[in-house]
C-alpha cells in the first residue's frame, strides 16, 4: 500500500506545515478573537465578514492539517487540488482588486507573499504527481458519486456567480457584500466543487474524511458566525428568503460533510490494517 500511496516531498510537507500554522492563526484568530486580529488584517473587514472568513480558514485548516499529519499522496490528492484552486483564485481576485489594499501596510505584503508562493508550490506538485498510479483508489458507490457530482455542480455554479456576477449573487448572503468580498468568497465554493469532483469517481476513505472535514467545518462555523455576530449587532432579517436559503444550503452541506466523515472513518481502520 505504501508504494502505491507514497510520501509527499519534503518541500510540500514544509509548505503544508507553514500553511497549517497560518490557517490556525487566521481561522482561530478571526473567529474567536476578532477584535485582536481584525486590526492586523490586510484590509478593513466588518464583523460578519470577519467570522465568515474565519469559518473559511477553519474549514481549510482541518483538511490541510490532516494532509500534513498523513504526509502521503492520499489524502493529499484532493487537498492539494483544493489548495491550488483556493489560493490561485484568491490571488487573481487580489490582483484585479489591488486598489482594495494599502501597500504601505506590512500585512498586505505578507498576504501577497502567501498567495503567490502557495499556488506556485501546489501547481508544481500537481505537475510532479501528474502520473501517480491510481491503483490505491477505491470505486465510489454510485449513490455517493451522484450526490458528490450534483453538490459539486451546484456549489461550483454558485462560486461562478459570486465571481462574475458579484452584485447579484452577493445579495444571496444574509449581510451586505461588496464586489471584492463576493469574488473573494467564490474561491471557497470553487474549492469545494473541485474536492467533490476529485473523489466522486474513485477515492480512498482518507480522502472522503478530508473532504468531509472541510465541508462540515466551513458550514457549521459559517452558521455559528452569523448567529454570534447578529447577537451583537442585530441586523439580520431572519425571515428574508435569502437568509433562509443561505442557512438551509449550509445546513445541507454540513450534513453532507458529516456523512462523508462517517463514511470514510468506518473504512479507515480496515484500510490501515492492510498496509
Residue whose C-alpha cell reads 454570534 in the numeric block: 228
DSSP states along 82-127 = HHHHHHHHHHHHHHHTGGGS-TTSHHHHHHHHHHHHHHHHHHHHHH
pLDDT of residue 135: 78
- Within 10 A of 146 (CB to CB), how many other CB atoms are there? 12
Report residue 3's pLDDT band, with 50, 70 and 90 as the boundaries.
Answer: low
11-50 pLDDT tens trace: 999 999 999 999 999 999 999 999 999 999 999 999 999 9
- In terms of Cα–Cα distance, which of 94, 77, 110, 56 is closest to 225? 56
Report residue 133's pLDDT band, with 50, 70 and 90 as the boundaries.
Answer: confident
Q: What is the grid cell recorded at 146?
A: 451522484
Taking a C-beta distance cutoff of 8 angstroms, is the pair 59, 79 a contact? no
Q: What is the 8-class DSSP label of residue 239? A: T
- Please say if the pLDDT value at position 271 is more than 60: no
Range 79-103 average pLDDT: 96
| CA atoms within a 13 Å half-sphere pointing along the CA-CB vector of 92 | 12
* Alpha carbons 32 and 26: distance in angstroms, whole number: 10
pTM, to two decimals: 0.93
Burial class for 69, CB neighbours closer than 10 Å (0-12, 13-18, 19+): exposed
Residue partners of 207: CB distance under 8 A and separation at least 6: 74, 75, 77, 78, 198, 199, 264
Q: What percent of the chain has pLDDT over 90?
A: 90
185-198 pLDDT tens trace: 999 999 999 999 99
Cis, bond preceding 41 (omega within 30 deg of 0): no
Q: Mean pLDDT across the chain, nearest whole number?
A: 93
Q: What percent of the chain has pLDDT over 70?
A: 96
138-183 pLDDT tens trace: 999 999 999 999 999 999 999 999 999 999 999 999 999 999 999 9
Report residue 2's pLDDT band, with 50, 70 and 90 as the boundaries.
Answer: low
- In terms of Cα–Cα distance, which of 121, 67, 61, 112 is closest to 90? 112
pLDDT of residue 197: 97
pLDDT of residue 56: 98
Amino acid at each position: 500500500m505504501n508504494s502505491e500511496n507514497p510520501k509527499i516531498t519534503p518541500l510540500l510537507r514544509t509548505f503544508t506545515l507553514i500553511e497549517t500554522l497560518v490557517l490556525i492563526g487566521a481561522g482561530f484568530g478571526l473567529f474567536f478573537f476578532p477584535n485582536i486580529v481584525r486590526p492586523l488584517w490586510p484590509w478593513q473587514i466588518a464583523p460578519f465578514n470577519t467570522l465568515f472568513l474565519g469559518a473559511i480558514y477553519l474549514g481549510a485548516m482541518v483538511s490541510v492539517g490532516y494532509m500534513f499529519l498523513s504526509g502521503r499522496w492520499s489524502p493529499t490528492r484532493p487537498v492539494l487540488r483544493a489548495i491550488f484552486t483556493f489560493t490561485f483564485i484568491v490571488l487573481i481576485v487580489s490582483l484585479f482588486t489591488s486598489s482594495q489594499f494599502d501597500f504601505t501596510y506590512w500585512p498586505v505584503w505578507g498576504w501577497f507573499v502567501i498567495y503567490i508562493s502557495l499556488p506556485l508550490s501546489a501547481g508544481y506538485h500537481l505537475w510532479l504527481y501528474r502520473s501517480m498510479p491510481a491503483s490505491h483508489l477505491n470505486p465510489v458507490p454510485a449513490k455517493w458519486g451522484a450526490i458528490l457530482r450534483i453538490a459539486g455542480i451546484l456549489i461550483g455554479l454558485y462560486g461562478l456567480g459570486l465571481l462574475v456576477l458579484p452584485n447579484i449573487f452577493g445579495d444571496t448572503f444574509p449581510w451586505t457584500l461588496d464586489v471584492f468580498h463576493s469574488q473573494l468568497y467564490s474561491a471557497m465554493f470553487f474549492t469545494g466543487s473541485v474536492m467533490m469532483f476529485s473523489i466522486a469517481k474513485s477515492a480512498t476513505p482518507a480522502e472522503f474524511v478530508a473532504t468531509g472535514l472541510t465541508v462540515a467545518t466551513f458550514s457549521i462555523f459559517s452558521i455559528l458566525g452569523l448567529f454570534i455576530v447578529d447577537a451583537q449587532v442585530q441586523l439580520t432579517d431572519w425571515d428574508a428568503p435569502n437568509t433562509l436559503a443561505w442557512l438551509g444550503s449550509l445546513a445541507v452541506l454540513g450534513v453532507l460533510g458529516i456523512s462523508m466523515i462517517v463514511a470514510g472513518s468506518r473504512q479507515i481502520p480496515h484500510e490501515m490494517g492492510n498496509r
